[in-house]
Structure 1
Amino acid sequence: MRILFMGTPEFAVPSLDVLVKYHEVIGIFTKVDKINKRGKKIEYLPVKQYAIDKNIPIYQPESLKTKEIQNIIKELNPELIVVVAYGKIIPKEIIEIPKYGIINVHSSLLPKFRGAAPINAALIEGEEKSGVTIMYIAEGLDTGDIILSKATEITEEDDFLSLHDRLKEIGAEVLKEAVDLIGKGQNERIPQDEEKATFVKPFKKEDLKIDWNNSKEKIFNFVRGLSPIPCSWTYHEDKILKVYQVKKQDKIYENGEIGEVVDKVKGKGPVVKVKNGSIIITSAKPESKKILSGADLLNGNFVKIGDILK
């Protein structure tokens, strides 16, 4: 099948790779290059680098709304367009071009967690399962009919990175199956239940701040759902302390206030008093420093008993 691929980050690469192995990928649309702040050099994003390595034509339009871009897609004449974390809205004029339409690989079990950060959201909300949905692109955001979905259990050890890496491989596997079904005319179109739909907005800096007034379970899920990207944080001595990993403790401390470092666990890290127990910070990054283990936070006096995290 002649396929046009649209995608940008690492999550999209396994899906692109499986299409290249089994179909004719006639072009790749990806977002414009980023400039490295330190060296001011252009950094190729993962999908573009893959396209260069495989010698596949690359397109990096600022917008898909122009007649010029829409004409390019018409000339490419794809039978199917596959979108995986592209980061741009697909206009109606493009949706109508390919014979088999446009499908999307979405990293949640739709209709739950439509929008920008579904993997983070599943962890933050304490979900027991996440997964990947293959769906048709419609004019609404992640509202199209479902072709296939596959779930995976979320474990206590999962954080954003581990779940992300598992879902990107599941996405490639289910995408191959969906494209095969489309080619045979055996694919389903299952409408989404709008009453069960939830939506995740892009994160702002304030959204990433830890609320120590929450339960230990909520704080644990919040931290791991944002680790290592985009990373939760708290104020410590009027500076930002990025928090990468924490552990829950049932132990309740009578002394101190919520958000106060009330104890330490040797070899693990400082203990923070929270609503229904306590939290051990096991990995964090003080401002202008490297990421440190909880033990090193204590050993270097970066965090001390009596400190208040706000």
Structure 2
Amino acid sequence: MRILFMGTPEFAVPSLDTLRKKHNIIGIFTKVDKPNTRGKKVKYTPVKEYALENNIPIYQPNSLKTEDTFNLIKELNPDLIVVVAYGKIIPNNIIEFPKFGIINVHSSLLPKFRGAAPINAAIIAGEKESGVTIMDIAEELDAGDIILKGTTPIYEEDTFLTLHDRLKIIGAEKLDEAVDQIEAGTAKREVQKHEEATFVKPYKKIDCLIDWNKTKEEIFNFVRGMNPFPTAYTHHNEKVLKVYGVEKLDKIYENGENGEIVDSIKGKGFVVKVNNGSVILTEIKPENKKSISGKDSINGNLFKIGEVLK
């Protein structure tokens, strides 16, 4: 089958690799190269890096809505278009063009968590299960018919990164199954229960700020759901303090306010009072410094009892 692949980040690479082993990848669409923030050196997307290594034609249109882009797709004439974390809305004329349509690998169990950050959102919401959905692309965001799903538990020790890395493999496996079914004419579709849909917008910086008035469970899920990206943070002495790990603590401290450093536990870290107990700061990164463990924060006298994280 002649497949045009659209994708950008690392999450998409296993899917592309799986398809390349069995099908003719006639080209990849990926986002335009951007300079990195430090040296202004242009950094290729992971999908582009893979395409270069495997001699796959690369296209990086600024927009999918132009006549030139549509003419290019008509010239390539794919049997199927596969989209995995491309980061662009697909217009209807492209959706309707390929013989076998256009399908997407979405990193949630739809209709839950439609939108841009479903992996983060599932952990932050305290979900016990996540997965991927292979679906037809429709004009409405993540609302197409479901072809296949793959599931995985969300473990207490999971972070965004560990769940992301598991889901990208599950996504590739289920995509392989779905494409085989589509080619054989055996693929079945299931209409989503649209009334059960939930949506996730891209996280802005302000959305990553820890609310110490929440419960220890909510803060624990929030921090790990943001680890390592886009990263939960708080303020200490008017400077940004990134928080990569916390541990739930049942102990309730009667004195002090939520967000206050109320104790330290040898070998673990400083303790912060929260709504229904407390949490231990087990991995943090002070502004303009390296990430350190909770144990090292005690050894370095990073906090004083009574200081309040804002």
Query: What is the TM-score normalised by the length of structure 2?
Result: 0.99
Gapped regions of structure 2 (runs ≥ 5): none
Aligned match of 2:230? 230
1:303 aligns with 2:307: no
Report deviation, 1:138. 0.3
State how far apart, in whole Å, the 1-side matches of 2:162 and 2:91 are. Answer: 33
Partner of 1:187: 187
Cross-structure match for 1:167: 167
Q: Is the 8 A contact 1:27 1:57 kept in 2?
A: yes
1:130 aligns with 2:130: yes
Alignment-derived partner of residue 149 in structure 2: 149
SS at match of 1:212: coil
Partner of 2:107: 107
Instruction: Give secondary structure in 1 for the equivalent of 2:279.
Output: strand
Question: Counterpart in 2 of 1:77?
Answer: 77
**Residues 69-98 of structure 1 deviation map (CA, whole Å, 9 limit, x = unaligned):** 100000100000000000000000111110
CA distance in 2, matches of 1:168, 1:44: 20
- Paired residue for 2:277? 277
Q: Which residue in the other structure is 1:120 paired with? A: 120
CA contact (8 A) 1:286 1:302 kept: no
Task: Give CA-to-partner distance per residue, 1:240-294, whole Å, 9 cap, x none.
Answer: 1010000000011112111100001111110000111100000011111111111
Residue 245 of structure 1 pairs with residue 210 of structure 2: no
- Deviation per CA, 1:212-254: give whole Å up to 9, x if none: 0000000000000000100000111111101000000001111
Residue of structure 2 in register with 1:290 after alignment: 290
Q: How many corresponding residue pairs? A: 310
**Equivalents in 1 of 2:79, 2:277: separation in Å?**
57
Which secondary structure does the structure 2 equivalent of 1:179 belong to?
helix
1:172-201: per-residue Cα shift (whole Å, max 9, x none)? 000000000000000011100011100001
- 1:250 alignment partner AA: D
Bigger shift: residues 83-92 or 31-40:
31-40
Q: Deviations over 1:51-71 (max 9, x none)?
A: 000010000011000000100
Range that drifts further, 37-46 or 7-16: 37-46
1:139 corresponds to:
139
SS at 1:248 equivalent: strand
Helix, strand or coil at the partner of 1:246: strand
Task: After TM superposition, give the deviation of residue 304 of structure 1 in Å.
Answer: 2.4
Counterpart residue type for residue 225 of structure 1: G
TM-score by length of 1: 0.99
**Cα deviation, residue 301, structure 1:** 2.1
Q: What CA RMSD, in Å, does the superposition of the two structures yield over aligned residues?
A: 0.7
3-state SS in 2 of match to 1:284:
strand
